[in-house]
Amino acid sequence: MDINKLIERVKNILLTPKTEWPVIAQEQTDVAKLYTGYIMILAAIPAVINFLTYSIRGSVVAGLVALILGYALSLGLTFLMAIIIDALAPTFGGEKNQIQALKTAAYANTAGWVAGVFGIIPILGMLIIWAALIYGCVLLYFGLPHTMKSPPDKTGGYFAVVLVINIVLSFIAMMIIGGIVAAMLIGAAVVAH
């Protein structure tokens, strides 16, 4: 892993997505390289912050559970979204390509993963994360025509369907993590008393 390349990619996708997406679309890579060189590293940011937050405000055990579940679900959801992006491509005039779909899912998540570092700051951190998630939607919209070759007249519909599915799946994942961690914290409070 080249940390300088990682930082450069993060900077470029966040600051100049219109010029970075064509570069991304042309790159030759595979699933393992995308995961080990980008996805696993960036997805760890919010997972580690969740661990710290739960450990400070609740318990280390709850923090560990949030870390493991959050990280695993983030990695899994990225892959699942890539499958969905790939499967929907022909419906919206795009080209099926699993690697391009994984690039789309991964790089569109960049803003949210990086902003995860602000999760340690109450209220303001959540506002920053929400802004980053909205910006991730912009990244997704800009990426689809380059990576999945969706025509301009169908990109809006493609984006909307992918976005709705992503929101639903993310909500389910948050409910799973929140429910398990809340149950652990309640259980720990009952045992402590």
Q: What is the pLDDT of residue 66?
A: 84
Which CA distances in Å does 183 have to 9, 47, 60, 168, 186?
39, 19, 14, 22, 5
pLDDT at 182 over 90: no
pLDDT tens for 108-117 read: 999 999 999 9
* DSSP symbol at 89: G
Strands (E), the chain: none
Please, is 96 exposed, middle or buried when counting C-beta atoms within 10 Å of its C-beta (0-12, 13-18, 19+)?
middle
- 132 vs 66, residue with greater confidence: 132
pLDDT tens for 13-44 read: 999 999 999 999 999 999 999 999 999 999 99
pLDDT bin (cut points 50, 70, 90) of residue 57 is confident
Could you give the angle at the alpha carbon of 172 between the alpha carbons of 166 and 176, nearest 5°? 140
Q: What is the pLDDT of residue 189?
A: 67
Least confidently predicted of 32-41, 54-63, 72-81: 54-63
pLDDT tens for 121-178 read: 989 999 999 999 999 999 999 999 999 999 999 999 999 999 999 999 999 988 888 7
pLDDT at 11 over 90: yes
